[in-house]
Amino acid sequence: MRRFILLVLLLWIAIPFTAVVADEYPTSPITYQIPFGPGGQSDLEARRQQPMLEDILGVKVIVQYKPGGGGSIGWANLTRKKPDGYFISGMNIPHIVLQPLARGNAGYETDQLMPIALFQATPIGLAVLKDSPFDSLEAFVEHAGKNPGVVTCGGSGTWSGHHIAHLQLSKMAGVNLTYIPSKGAAKSVAAFLGGHVQALWANSNDLVQHADKIRVLAFGTKEPFPNMPEVPTFESKGYALYASIDRGACAPPGTPKDRIKVLEEAFLKIASDPAVIRQMEKDGFVPLTMGAEASTAYIAEKVREWAPVVKEFKP
């Protein structure tokens, strides 16, 4: 009898302990997928976050790359991963919205990606090299109008924020510009600096980084971009073109909300760090601190906003 009571007590003690252990997260390395090539904005931010995430979460964070299709290959890969919180991915808006709308079969649906947080934005600008004959947006548009299809513009991916901005300006200005996509921002910048395209649709931090070699013709912002206040907005030149890339992290469909919460808190702690904010602003980024719920609502709003735009340009 005494032995039976002892056994019951041991079982009673062990059950809650096992439950606690089962709920512990994380306990093993987390893979952080970047759906673009190395060297771009998503990679730079992930590398900044990596040691801080490891410190906060107490586990190794492994950054890996899955470029292609303007990010769609990586996001399609994410949807096939086990939803246990040990595989996450960078996400870019409007890319995750545009591709399912435009391609029909992008390999994923926007609502399959479970937002963790949004932590950064980069306004998009149109730039030429310093020795370019185009000293203004007006000169660029005038030349393109007289030479249909001749002016080449680089950008990151197809059906990306860069691609849509390109299509929008082409229509608004009534010109025929040729878009040359690259697998990620770093490759598009390299092609541009190497003289392989005449102009570049680029993210603000790349434009800030290469300010001594380029001339930015306009930014897709409502107000002048703080790091380059002398650069006009498209709006100020008569084009209602507003373009930016918002970056964050997401998890596979079905990932438990309690694990999303752990990751959300880690990412937002980093995004709220004053030193991180100062460095982001210095480098030409716009800091964001949007959690999972706010990010989900924001993405739903972008789906409504971009659906008619894609319908307008979709072949």
The pLDDT tens digits of the residues spanning 42-62 come to 999 999 999 999 999 999 999
CA–CA distances in Å: residue 304 to residues 117, 225, 310? 20, 26, 11
Residue 8's pLDDT is 36
Query: 216: part of which helix (H) or strand (E)?
Result: strand 214-219
Residue with tokens 């894609």: 310
Give the predicted TM-score (pTM) of the model: 0.83
Angle at 114 between CA 110 and CA 117, to 5 degrees: 110
Alpha-carbon gap, residue 234 to 203, rounded angstroms? 15
Exposed / middle / buried, residue 39 (Cβ in 10 Å: 0-12, 13-18, 19+): middle
For the segment 212-262, what is each residue's pLDDT rounded down to a tens digit?
999 999 999 999 999 999 999 999 999 999 999 999 999 999 999 999 999
Smallest CA-to-CA distance from 49 within 58, 35, 65, 61 is with 61
Instruction: Classify 9 as helix, strand or coil.
Output: helix
**Cross-strand bridge partners of residue 250:** 89, 115
Residue 141: per-residue pLDDT = 98
- What's residue 20's pLDDT? 35
In the three-class reduction of DSSP (H, G, I as helix; E, B as strand; rest coil), residue 94 is classed as coil
Q: CA-to-CA distance for 61 and 30, rounded, in angstroms?
A: 5
Tokens of 86: 């040990």
Cα–Cα distance, 192 to 202 (Å, whole number): 10
Instruction: Note whether 27-120+246-313 and 123-237 share their fold.
Output: yes
Spatial distance between the Cα atoms of 108 and 243, rounded to a whole number of angstroms: 23
Q: What is the largest CA-CA distance in the chain?
A: 98
Phi/psi at 173 (nearest 5 deg)? -90, -10
Q: What pLDDT, on a 0 to 100 scale, did the predictor assign at position 183?
A: 83
Beta strands 114-129; 199-203: pairing state = antiparallel
Whether 260 and 292 have beta carbons less than 8 Å apart is answered as: yes
Q: What is the pLDDT of residue 104?
A: 78
287 contact partners, CB below 8 Å, separation of at least 6:
119, 120, 271, 276, 277, 280, 281
Domain boundaries, the chain: 27-120+246-313, 123-237
pLDDT for position 23: 66
Distance CA 163, CA 201 (A): 8
Classify 8 as helix, strand or coil.
Answer: helix
Q: Mean pLDDT for each consecutive 10-residue tract of the chain (315 residues)?
A: 42 40 82 92 94 98 93 96 98 93 91 98 97 97 97 92 94 96 90 97 95 97 95 97 96 98 98 96 95 97 91 84
What integer pLDDT is reported at residue 14 of this predicted model? 45
CATH classification (class only), 27-120+246-313 = alpha beta
DSSP-based helix, strand, coil % in the chain, nearest 5: 50, 20, 30
Residue 274, class by beta-carbon neighbours within 10 Å (0-12 exposed, 13-18 middle, 19+ buried)? exposed
pLDDT in tens, 185-198: 889 999 999 999 99
- CA nearest 30: which of 259, 284, 198? 259
Q: What is the CATH number of domain 123-237?
A: 3.40.190.10
Q: What are phi and psi of 153, to 5 degrees?
A: -125, 125
What pLDDT score was predicted for residue 314? Answer: 83
